[in-house]
């Protein structure tokens, strides 16, 4: 099955700086890559996703890039704000079993004011 | 609010007991997913149902079972509970589940504590 690794496990940045979280996946059949944000004590919520037919997707301060050849994808947050502090999870899902999301272990982002 | 509801919010029980967690998906969603999140851990996929039928299975223990009813709500049954089963259990739902991946909307979770 698919294996998703996520780095770093914790990330501390100064407010206004950029943050980058990276994930690698093992199954070349994976073609959908969502990112979820989980604030403390709350439910995970989708913040952005990308499908394998594009290499980059942007939504205001967040962007995701995908390198299918290298089998990795990254979340980029620019101009970070304290409210960006949360745990971020990446996931991958293969086309042959697209209901099964394989999540990374999470990155705890701390944005210092 | 995602529109997915889960009950109860908290559950405290003893080892060896059996509990049932309940989930109601968003209106119109046919797929329900169950995840386990242990302390400071990622989300472990347990099982998925689509319109009453099991569609995908993760590392769900044999002591755990689930079902989806005709009204589309789902229940996760955990039996012979062990201390290690203490975790946050999330239910998620999505629109479909037959033609490709869709955003999964998560419920607020049920925190299970096994003493």
Cis peptide before A112 (omega within 30 of 0): no
- What pLDDT shows up at residue A99? 79
- What pLDDT shows up at residue B56? 87
Output B98 or A14, whichever has higher pLDDT: A14
Please tell me if residue B64 touches chain A, with a CB cutoff of 8 Å. Answer: no
Output B95 or A112, whichever has higher pLDDT: A112
- What pLDDT shows up at residue A1? 80
Characterize the bridge pairing of strands A10-14 and A107-112: parallel
Interface test mutation site (partner A, options B6, B38, B42, max chain A beta carbons within 10 A): B42
- What pLDDT shows up at residue A2? 87
- What pLDDT shows up at residue A98? 80
- What pLDDT shows up at residue A26? 96
- The first and second tokens of residue B41, run together, are 């851990």
**Per-residue DSSP letter, B29:** -
pLDDT tens figures, A74-84: 999 999 999 99
Confirm if B49 and B93 have CB atoms less than 8 A apart: no
Cis peptide before A8 (omega within 30 of 0): yes
Q: How confident is the model at residue A25 (pLDDT cuts 50, 70, 90)?
A: very high
Confirm if A44 and B43 have CB atoms less than 8 A apart: yes
Contact B55 A45 (CB under 8 A): no
- What pLDDT shows up at residue A75? 98
Q: Which residues of chain B have pLDDT under 70?
A: 40, 96-98
Please tell me if residue B58 touches chain A, with a CB cutoff of 8 Å. Answer: yes
CA dihedral of B82, B108, A1, B54, whole degrees rounded to 10: 90
What CA–CA distances, in Å, run from A4 to A45, B12, B77? 19, 32, 28
**Distance separating alpha carbons of residues A11 and B41, to the nearest angstrom:** 16
pLDDT tens figures, A40-70: 989 999 999 999 888 999 999 999 999 999 9
Half-sphere exposure of B14 (CA within 13 A, CB side): 0
Contact A89 B42 (CB under 8 A): yes
What whole-number percentage of chain A has pLDDT above 90? 85
- What pLDDT shows up at residue B97? 61
| Out of B55, B97, B103, closest to residue A46 by CB | B103
Span between the terminal Cα atoms of chain B, in Å: 31
Taking CA–CA distances from A49, the nearest residue in chain B reads B103
Confirm if A23 and A4 have CB atoms less than 8 A apart: yes
- What pLDDT shows up at residue B13? 97
**Distance separating alpha carbons of residues A36 and B89, to the nearest angstrom:** 16
């Amino acid at each position: 099955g698919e294996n998703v690794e996520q780095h770093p496990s914790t990330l501390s940045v100064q407010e206004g700086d950029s943050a980058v979280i990276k994930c690698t996946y093992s199954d070349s059949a994976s073609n959908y890559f969502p990112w979820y944000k989980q604030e403390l004590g709350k439910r995970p919520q989708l913040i952005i996703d990308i499908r394998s037919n594009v290499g980059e997707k942007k939504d205001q301060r967040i962007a995701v890039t995908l390198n299918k050849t290298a089998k990795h994808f990254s979340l980029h947050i620019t101009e970070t704000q304290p409210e960006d502090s949360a745990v971020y999870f990446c996931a991958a899902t293969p086309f042959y079993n697209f209901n099964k999301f394989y999540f990374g272990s999470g990155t705890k982002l701390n944005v210092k004011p | 609010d995602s529109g997915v509801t889960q009950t109860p919010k908290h559950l405290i029980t003893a080892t060896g007991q059996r509990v049932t967690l309940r989930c109601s998906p968003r209106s119109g969603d046919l797929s329900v997913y169950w995840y386990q999140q242990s302390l400071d851990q990622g989300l472990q996929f347990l099982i998925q149902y689509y319109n009453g039928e099991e569609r995908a299975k993760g590392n769900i223990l044999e002591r755990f079972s689930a079902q989806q009813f005709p009204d589309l709500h789902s229940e996760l049954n955990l039996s012979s509970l062990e201390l290690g089963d203490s975790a946050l259990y999330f239910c998620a739902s999505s629109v479909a589940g037959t033609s490709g991946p869709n955003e999964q909307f998560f419920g607020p979770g049920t925190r299970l504590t096994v003493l």
